[in-house]
Structure 1
């Protein structure tokens, strides 16, 4: 990786930290606007870069809220990374609606399924509405921002550096 690419990656992680401070009312205080920078990075930089931003962004969001779910946040960070990677790949293959729908459903309904086994069904049912709202907001911000920011990232230097 070269300097400019790493700088952009750091900027998206920093944006994720800012988004992590913008909480959505929930039973667990780690539902936040930390995913949209990762979704942006997945489309504008690379799917792998977006996955890294998603994992770090979620962990930083969890730290800011006091790590309420303990080590479960590492599982959530991995799930976020996978979902963002899938979003980036689908979006770049002109499947924007499918990318958005899969991210929203995956983040709000599929990703919290392990909580049924580790905690209980009540916790799962209580967290899903907040996750759904957060996923819709994060995805909506992303879909509005990508066309406006795409010209910044149309330069070949970013695409070439992402491949190295």
Structure 2
């Protein structure tokens, strides 16, 4: 069981790296499609697994983007881990709409709040629209993909053998 979990985490983290290369136009170049694999992990493997994929996924996205905010990306990675953990808790308790709304609002509105103090209000106001679009896209992809992958991750995949 541990091997399957580690393999799944590695696969979803690699998918985060691929999503990290798909950037959404923003004032800072680290808004990307890097978080939907973490949302998938949180829904199918548990909140902790999703948090791990979220943190690594964001750091990979930041590296690909050139670390435009420097060490502040570690704060963002921690925020992403917490948000995905919350998403996973709600989603796995059959509160899917609440999970989606909380993640989108948390990622787009609440997560960048520390940057009002670390940077300025102008930076916050400039980044929120891009984060909102990115959050909606990442969550939308995850919500479409999760039901399609659930049988594979939950061990119920039916194997169709080709007979000669």
Q: What TM-score, normalized by structure 1, do the two folds share? A: 0.93
Extract structure 1 runs of 4+ deviating beyond 3 A: none
Aligned residue pairs total 156
CA RMSD after TM alignment: 1.0
Partner of 1:160: none
In the alignment, structure 2 segments of 5+ residues that lack a partner are 157-164
Tell me, yes or no, if structure 1 residue 138 matches structure 2 residue 138.
yes
Q: 1:54-94: per-residue Cα shift (whole Å, max 9, x none)?
A: 00000010000110001110000000000000000100001
The alpha-carbon deviation at position 155 of structure 1 amounts to 2.0
Partner of 2:108: 108
Partner of 2:152: 152
Partner of 2:25: 25
Bigger Rg over Cα: 2
CA distance in 2, matches of 1:90, 1:103: 10
Within a 5 Å distance, the mapping from 1:52-131 to structure 2 comes to 52-131=52-131
SS at match of 2:9: helix
In the alignment, structure 1 segments of 5+ residues that lack a partner are 157-164
Tell me, yes or no, if structure 1 residue 4 matches structure 2 residue 7.
no
More divergent stretch after superposition (146-155 vs 24-33): 146-155
The alpha-carbon deviation at position 121 of structure 1 amounts to 0.1
The alpha-carbon deviation at position 153 of structure 1 amounts to 1.6
CA distance in 2, matches of 1:146, 1:100: 13
Q: 1:12-44: per-residue Cα shift (whole Å, max 9, x none)?
A: 000000000000000000000000000000011
CA distance in 1, matches of 2:28, 2:153: 35
The higher relative CO (CA closer than 8 Å, separation ≥ 6) is in 1
SS at match of 1:97: helix
Q: What TM-score, normalized by structure 2, do the two folds share? A: 0.93
SS at match of 1:123: helix
The alpha-carbon deviation at position 143 of structure 1 amounts to 0.5
CA distance in 1, matches of 2:29, 2:58: 12
